[in-house]
Structure 1
Amino acid sequence: MYGTEAGHRRRPARRAAARRRRRAVAGTALAATVLLAACSSPDDASPRPAQASERPDGSSEAPFWVNPDSRAQQALATAEESGDAQEAELVAAIAEQPAGQWLGTEDPETEARRITEAAQEADRPPLLVLYNIPHRDCGQYSEGGAPTADAYRDWIARVVSGIGDRAAWVVLEPDALAHLLVPGCVPGEFHEEQYTLLREAVESLSALPGTRVYLDAGNPQWVQDPGGMVEPLQRAGIAQADGFALNVSNYQTTEANVEYGTRLSSMVGGKHFVIDTSRNGNGPAEGVGDEEAWCNPPGRALGTEPTTRTGEELVDAFLWIKRPGESDGTCKGGPPAGEWHHSYALELARNATHP
């Protein structure tokens, strides 16, 4: 349906050089390869705590915090230790880019504090994803969420405490508003509760001095008429948020999301938005017969690298909200949702290199 976005992507070889150079061990073949790579300097410091910055040369390497302990980083270390430079280069295309940190449920305060403190030390804001609302995901692969409304309020309060006055960008509750529009997904008696919880979360997070908040608003394939998302966003507190997020964990093209988001913005007070470009380099999978076309579809590619230099007045950033390389669920041969899917990660990077 949509064309590729090869023009927006840089090849993984350039992205891999810095990380491989840092990890190389003298005397190995991989180290020799790295020493021949271009010696670009690390990212420059961000001048404002809540706003991602770019390098002075206009490139967009790591405008947000890169987690050194991510599953992608672990996969990169394994590939490097094996001596497979080609595989390491492909994994590095993912591992070296900043991606969303999806906070857990056990100790969100400590986790949020650890991430924001590490990001502050690196002088880069982290991207946090809050995904714990009750009745989450309509009982599908990522079902769960807080057991009660009060449990969710407590979870949000602990996240807020953990962030404190440090910088953070937050994407709030992927799919929650779109699922409220799906008949039979969230029981009707809980709709008002969900709007209330989202609105309260926006209020708490937006009160933090260094935090930017984006309410998830689905994607243009799911909610095809942006007018249908206006009332849900308003009831969920879009007026107090910095904007909305599109295409989280999906594959719709950047062009389609920009068009959709621009129309939606005009209906909600000119709010800005961010787009998940983590896996949309080849657009969505073709065909409409597969009800799980969104789940580990083959033939996809990494999309535009994270950047705040979008060239679009209303688009604050292209982000990797979904961590590419991690499974959508146990479909099409994938492991459980959120686990590292190595063959799929390699395919995403390889397709981005050779569109």
Structure 2
Amino acid sequence: MKYSFGLVALAAFATAAPTEVEKEAAKIAPRAACTTAVKLAAGSNPFSGKKFYANEYYAGEVAAAAAQMSDSSMAAKAAKVGQVGSFLWIDTIARVPLVADTLSKVACGEIAQIVVYDLPGRDCAAKASNGELAVGEISRYKSEYIDPIAAAIKANPNVAVALLIEPDSLPNLVTNANLTTCQASKSGYEEGVAYALKTLNLPNVAMYIDAGHGGWLGWDANLKPGAEGIAKVYKAAGSPKQVFGFATNVAGWNAFQQTPGEFSTATDAKYNKCQDEKRYVNAFAPLLKTAGMPNHAIVDTGRNAVTGLRLAWGDWCNVIGAGFGVRPTTTTNDALVDAFVWGKPGGESDGVSDPDADRYDSFCGHEDAFKPSPQAGQWNQAYFEQLLANAKPPF
């Protein structure tokens, strides 16, 4: 999604009075967790034999969206989206309590999925998803963000948890090192990710470190530096055994397998052999292994059902015509891919399209970006309905 620009992400949510979505989610009673501690063995597929937990925050958003639909058949299809297991983004300190709340509702046989996403100077190459912590606030990141997340997971040892670690961060240090914002964020990114990996290295946890996608680190010149940069931080954390590998296409649009590739006819295509995420995983994984790190992957298929929509590979914001992709599954037909997952909650905006708005990023004003769109992370009803209408397989 980027190699010299910002990747889509989620922004801060309001944290005052509970929203209608949160009230709806709170109505659902907790289910029984396992009676014994969960241990996710290094080298195994942590998703195997488990149901992908459908977190109730997103389910509440989807229920509210379905209630707005006058077409009963579309509303029925929308309701099914809320039953799909997707990742819950913890993108502010104020949202950290959602971790404990979520884990209390996960049944035995399910696996919770959480995105860890609040580094100081977050998303240094974009504007739409800049975070709450300023460059240098690494102590707050550790004590107010990572430590409480770890405490919540420790308090729920009988729940399996998959963690997607800090989208955008380490790939930005490879491809956007010329930006002063990324230069300023570098030490905090590396220290923060290493601290997260070390602190969250718990027996019931499987961690995957974000590695961009084929259109970002898949370029010939980026593959090896990208793998070595991620492995460097992994080793700085003490090579924690609960790191299972890397995540690709998070909040992205790339097909998992497509021949020829979506951008295979571009003038610079000869410099990128990773024309889909399958080719990217199979090019990146051996380099990670050589660098001394576990190399299995998870791939986000949440919004990649329709390709050929972007005018350029780098267009990442609310792409017009997109659809929900393959549902989360461990049937990937690739030994290196543990699971297809829904990393991005479809319907939550990538960024605001109003050029006069705070945190406006020009990519959200591109011709292939959906308009109007609200601030990153806020619900976009019309866009959700588009994703639903274009879903493959359909709901």
Give the TM-score band, short-chain normalised.
0.7 to 0.9
1:237 alignment partner in structure 2: 234
Counterpart CA distance in 2 for 1:354 and 1:65 is: 20
Where in structure 2 are the equivalents of 1:209-288 lying within 5 Å?
Answer: 209-225=203-219, 226-237=223-234, 239-240=239-240, 241-255=243-257, 256-269=276-289, 271-283=295-307, 285-288=309-312
**Correspondence list, 1:24-103, <5 A:** 50=40, 51-54=46-49, 63-70=51-58, 72-77=59-64, 79-80=66-67, 84-103=71-90
What secondary structure, in the 3-state scheme, does the structure 2 residue paired with 1:352 have?
coil
Cα separation, 2, equivalents of 1:311 and 1:354: 17
Tell me the secondary structure at the aligned position of residue 390 of structure 2. Answer: helix
Q: What residue identity is the alignment partner of 2:150?
A: V
Letter matched to residue 146 of structure 1: L
RMSD after superposition: 2.7
| Partner residue in 1 for 2:346 | 324
Could you say if the C-alpha distance between residues 343 and 261 of structure 1 is closer, same or farther in structure 2, counting changes exceeding 3 Å? same
Query: In structure 2, what residue type is equivalent to 1:273?
Result: A
Tell me, yes or no, if structure 1 residue 149 matches structure 2 residue 169: no
Q: Conserved in 2, the CA contact under 8 Å of 1:254 and 1:277?
A: yes
- The Cα of 1:249 is off from its aligned counterpart by 0.7
For residues 124 and 170 of structure 1, what CA distance do their matches in structure 2 show? 14
- Equivalent residue, structure 2, for 1:126: 112
Cα offset for 1:229?
0.7
Instruction: Answer whether contact 2:120 2:188 (CA < 8 A) is retained.
Output: no
How far 1:77 sits from its partner (Å)?
4.9
Distance 1:77 1:230, change over 3 A: closer
8 Å Cα contact 1:253-1:284 kept in structure 2: no
Quote the Cα distance in structure 2 between the aligned partners of 1:104 and 1:347. 25
Distance between the aligned counterparts of 1:221 and 1:303, measured in 2? 18
1:96 and 1:175 map into 2 onto residues whose CA distance is 27
Moved more, 314-323 or 104-113: 104-113
Change over 3 Å in CA distance of 1:109–1:143 after alignment to 2: closer
The alignment partner of 1:254 has SS state of: coil
Question: Aligned-pair distance for 1:298?
Answer: 0.7
Secondary structure (helix, strand or coil) at the match of 1:180 reads helix
Letter in 2 for 1:150: S
Counting matched residue pairs gives 300
SS at match of 1:287: coil
Q: Which amino acid aligns with 2:296?
A: H
Letter in structure 2 aligned against 1:231: E
Kindly indicate whether residue 383 of structure 2 is the aligned counterpart of residue 344 of structure 1: yes
My pick for the range that moved more, 169-178 or 236-245, is 236-245
Q: Distance in 2 between matches of 1:83 and 1:349?
A: 15
| Cα pair 1:109 1:160 within 8 Å, conserved | no
Residues 315-334 of structure 1: per-residue CA shift (max 9 Å, x gap)? 01100010011111112311
Instruction: Kindly provide the amino acid, as one letter, of the partner of residue 349 in structure 1.
Output: L
CA-CA distance at 1:190 after TM superposition: 3.7
In 2, are the aligned partners of 1:307 and 1:317 still within 8 Å (CA)?
yes
Q: Distance in 2 between matches of 1:301 and 1:80?
A: 20
Q: Which has the higher helix share?
A: 1
User: Contact 1:202/1:237 (CA < 8 Å) preserved in 2?
Assistant: yes
Secondary structure of 1:127 counterpart? strand
Contact in 2 for aligned 1:277/1:319 (Cα 8 Å): yes
What is the CA–CA distance in structure 1 between the aligned matches of 2:103 and 2:56, rounded to whole Å? Answer: 13
1:312 aligned to which of 322, 328, 334: 334
- Contact 1:131–1:145 (CA<8 Å) still a contact in 2? no
Change in CA separation of 1:311 and 1:278 when aligned onto 2, cut-off 3 Å: same
Q: Distance in 2 between matches of 1:78 and 1:211?
A: 32
1:161 equivalent in structure 2: 151
Query: Contact 2:373–2:380 (CA<8 Å) still a contact in 1?
Result: yes
TM-score, with length taken from structure 2: 0.69
**Structure 1: distance between partners of 2:350 and 2:150:** 27
CA distance in 2, matches of 1:197, 1:81: 41
1:74 Cα deviation after fit: 3.9
Tell me the distance in 2 between the aligned counterparts of 1:185 and 1:178: 15
Q: What code does the residue aligned with 1:142 have?
A: S
Unaligned 5+ runs, structure 1: 1-44, 56-62
